[in-house]
Structure 1
Amino acid sequence: MNITHHGAVNGVTGSCHQLDYTSTESVLIDCGIFQGEDAGPDLAIDFDISTVTALIVTHCHIDHVGRIPYLFAAGFSGPIFTSKASASLLPLVIEDALKVGVTRDQKIIDACLSLLEKRIVAVEFNQWFELPGSNELPPLTKARFQRAGHILGSAYVEVDVGVKPNLQRVVFSGDLGAPYTPLLPSPKAPYKADVLVIESTYGDKNHQGRKERTSTLKKVIEKAVADSGVVLVPAFSIGRTQELLYELEQIIHNARKNPSWQSINVIVDSPMAANFTSKYREFKSLWDDEAKKRLANGRHPLDFRQLHTVDSHKEHLAVIEYLSKRDEAAIVIAASGMCTGGRIVNYLSRFLSDKTTDIIFVGYQGRGTLGRDIQTYGPRGGYVHINDSKVTIRAKIHTISGYSAHADQKGLVKFVTGMRKKPALIKIVHGDEQAKQALAQKYKAILGNATSVEIAK
């Protein structure tokens, strides 16, 4: 058995790991694009896939699935195993990725989507499935998905390789959700792992508690209401947007006697986010108990009165023009989450230099992204370049880490300490160097010499 990492080793993007389970067969876990400083000009698959029999998708964020079309182009023809909710989301994500980064030719897009839908195999959580036929008998490999609590449909995957008494269980964490996030249950640790490949996005940090982050969000928005400013929230279309809507509905509900809160506009300017929000509603059986209780009480946490969705590009430009001339507060949630493209960039270009504007970062900002630059230089009164123009940052910049969809250091530690049988080897991926080092030190201190801890290369 051997594990090779084709991405997410020098940063937090491009997740792609190859598990060789026989001498002639292997499986890929995720196949994502690189973003920010990790990005390169060529997305073509640059590793040998001749032994790859299947792809396992942990969840549908672009840095975990965005290179799937290039995998097809390289000749991959095996099944794509994923959870049922992810199977529903994946075509939407790939279609958007093709339109934004590859081609507007609808025939090419349709051909790729047709190929994708033929390959997808939707699997229930906690259900074992065999990986495609082995040339070495008996069949050596099976896998199953467990809920990761990161976004709708997200999973960590357990892979059993070999037969007793030499059976090895390899766990790939994908991206693990933070505890107490809205809508989705927190991930539960697996019973055991012999080898664990785990993300480390927040391996050196702990998030704010839910009460604290909700209070911070409320205060920022109340300030915006007071000066009729615009609140801009760069957010990933899947996961973060829906969690924010859930929290905003709760704040508005609690302030139902306050006319300022009842009149505020919450604008989701992203057709993708709107599509994913409808999927969240479709798969409400996967919601946590708190969210289900709100539904039972007749509330609609993802479809409330103050919520407005912007669809076409023409509407998008009209909203920017309207907000430029308005004298009332508005909250705008738009992709992309790291400000690397999408409609949020047009809002930032227009409103970043306005002192009544507030920017709220609720997720990780990768190195080399516009989001990271604003986060870094904004508090210093600096500037950024947007579309080749210098934009001075007069807006107030806020970071609310508690809304991250990623587990913090405590959560990443709990995922391991919660196992009945601890791993003999932990390989740390998907994090900046400081985060990986901090998490490695934490694991070594807690687990001692019984577990070997490596930072994947």
Structure 2
Amino acid sequence: MATLTFYGATEGVTGSAYLLQTGAATILLDCGLFQGSREEEKGNDEPLPFDIQGLDAVVLSHAHLDHSGRLPKLVADGYQGPLYMTEATSELLEVMLKDAASLQQRDTEWENKRRRRAGKQEIEPLYTLEDVEAALELCQGFVYGQRRQIADGVEVCFRDAGHILGSSIVELFVTEAGVEKKLVFSGDLGNSYAALLRDPEIVKAADVLLLESTYGNRNHRPMDETLQEFEDIIVDASKNGGNILIPSFAVGRTQEIIFRLGQLYQKGLLRQQAVYLDSPMAIAVTEVYHRYQDAYNREDANTLRQGETGSLHTFLPILRYSSSTEESMALNKIEAGAIIIAGSGMCTGGRIRHHFKHNLWRRNAHVVIVGYQAIGTPGRSLVDGAESFKIGGDSIAVAASIHTLGGFSAHASQSQLLDWINHFNEPRPRLYLIHGEAETKATFQQFLADHGWTATIPQLADTIDF
């Protein structure tokens, strides 16, 4: 009998990893980084808790690091088999893993400087760029809806999850003794009101269902209200001339913000002189989005065609890329009339902090928060009304207007998750809640019970028969 073991995203949102074992094959579903507190991230340094040499294949739901970020470590530790994913995911994976390796290298160098001064033993990064290149060589891309055998008695099919470009709902078909069973992993399901991508595909049959629950305890603010507030902020800011700074995540959120700014431009409401995308990673991701426009939903694809080639570039003609350090630094000389989109999304690092240094103290400047800000992050301090902001050894007075928009989300909300699972036929699948904080999952479990569903919340290293 096949078994499934939960090796991540059980005690929180990150570290996605599930091991499927049959009598003939062993499949790893996702291999993500643990992210968050230092205590949580210590899990990345632990040896992977299964026999790497016994793996026949790895299946990846999408490119976000909490689902993919330990793949180079897996390869560095000896895995040489195939990595299966969608074609778009394989392209985004190259951008994201190389960026992650560079950041780890930088952070390790800084830590080792400190350790040398303290006479402590130096450390190694979790993995290197060479490990990333080795992992990328193993990637095999699928198109949505393509069902293929990946190991003895195991087939896979990817369905569009609508979360980020290339994101998938994973269907695994396991045949033993002539009997086929089906495991469905939701991956991260998208918000049907978000821009560009299609709604999550409907799946109607499964024996076991793994369901994400990131927003299982609440619904998002209505998108029309969010867009109206976004428009009001942009229009008002143009009247007083100050710059607008938008800290944004490189994958998904940045591309949606560019699209929303394009809508305002096409309506004649965007009076700023230029929109600068000041993030090499976000620029690279936006180019991948440009190459996969066939993944867009019909309505937004038709809207984009108001530009000459149907791209984000022509839909927002005042969009400018700032790739180099010199180009980024030049933006600090602009005192008014610019919109600057830069990472990191929670203001923990990246170029946005340099722009804060030159703009936060200006009374006519605006900061627009368009993504979740975790407790303890610099971005959260701005949301909570901080009067000063620390950058290095400097403390910058916050005189700029801080705006928080809560409606932008790449995840399905509580009601959207329920709607998606309600499409499953009888007999209903055995349902397991993953990818959520403990309190969120407990709330969602009760919510589902009130709507006729029995859901189990697995613990780390729990194994179920499948």
* TM-score tier after normalising by the smaller chain length: 0.7 to 0.9
1:88-167 equivalences under 5 Å are: 88-102=91-105, 111-132=130-151, 139-163=152-176, 166-167=179-180
8 A Cα contact 1:249 1:301, kept in partner? no
Which residue identity lines up with residue 129 of structure 1 in the other structure? Answer: R
8 A Cα contact 2:146 2:158, kept in partner? yes
8 A Cα contact 1:149 1:185, kept in partner? yes
1:438 aligned residue = 443
329 and 298 in structure 1: CA distance in 2 versus 1, 3 angstrom threshold: closer
1:362 aligned residue = 370
Of 283, 298, 311, 2:323 maps to: 311
CA displacement, residues 71-104 of structure 1 (integer Å, 9 cap, x when unaligned) = 1122111111000111222112211111111369
1:36 aligned residue = 36
Q: How many pairs does the alignment contain?
A: 435
Q: Give the Cα–Cα distance (whole angstroms) in 1 for the partners of residues 382 and 304 of structure 2.
A: 37
1:388-403 equivalences under 5 Å are: 389-403=394-408
TM-score by length of 1: 0.87
| Partner SS state of residue 194, structure 2 | coil
130 and 6 in structure 1: CA distance in 2 versus 1, 3 angstrom threshold: same
Q: Give the Cα–Cα distance (whole angstroms) in 2 for the partners of residues 48 and 389 of structure 1.
A: 46
1:256-335 equivalences under 5 Å are: 261-299=270-308, 300-303=310-313, 304-320=316-332, 322-323=333-334, 326=335, 328-335=336-343
1:76 aligned residue = 79
Q: Give the Cα–Cα distance (whole angstroms) in 2 for the partners of residues 347 and 6 of structure 1.
A: 40
Q: Give the Cα–Cα distance (whole angstroms) in 2 for the partners of residues 370 and 96 of structure 1.
A: 21
Residue 414 (str. 1) matches residue 414 (str. 2): no
8 A Cα contact 1:196 1:423, kept in partner? no
Q: CA RMSD in A?
A: 2.6
Aligned-residue offset at 1:382: 4.8
Aligned-residue offset at 1:40: 2.9
CA displacement, residues 254-300 of structure 1 (integer Å, 9 cap, x when unaligned) = 12xx5xx2443211101111111111111111111113213444454
8 A Cα contact 1:193 1:421, kept in partner? no
Aligned-residue offset at 1:176: 0.9
Aligned-residue offset at 1:57: 1.3
Could you tell me which runs of 5 or more consecutive residues in structure 1 were left unpaired when the two chains were aligned: 133-138
Aligned-residue offset at 1:177: 0.6
Which residue identity lines up with residue 36 of structure 2 in the other structure? Answer: G
8 A Cα contact 1:270 1:311, kept in partner? yes
Could you tell me which runs of 5 or more consecutive residues in structure 2 were left unpaired when the two chains were aligned: 110-126, 461-466
Q: Give the Cα–Cα distance (whole angstroms) in 2 for the partners of residues 422 and 386 of structure 1.
A: 56
Residue 249 (str. 1) matches residue 262 (str. 2): yes
CA displacement, residues 205-250 of structure 1 (integer Å, 9 cap, x when unaligned) = 2112332111111111122222222322222211111111111101
Percent identical: 32
Which is worse superposed, 163-172 or 304-313? 163-172
| Partner SS state of residue 145, structure 1 | strand
1:179 aligned residue = 192
Aligned-residue offset at 1:163: 4.0
| Partner SS state of residue 39, structure 1 | helix
Q: Give the Cα–Cα distance (whole angstroms) in 2 for the partners of residues 401 and 20 of structure 1.
A: 41
Q: Give the Cα–Cα distance (whole angstroms) in 2 for the partners of residues 352 and 213 of structure 1.
A: 23
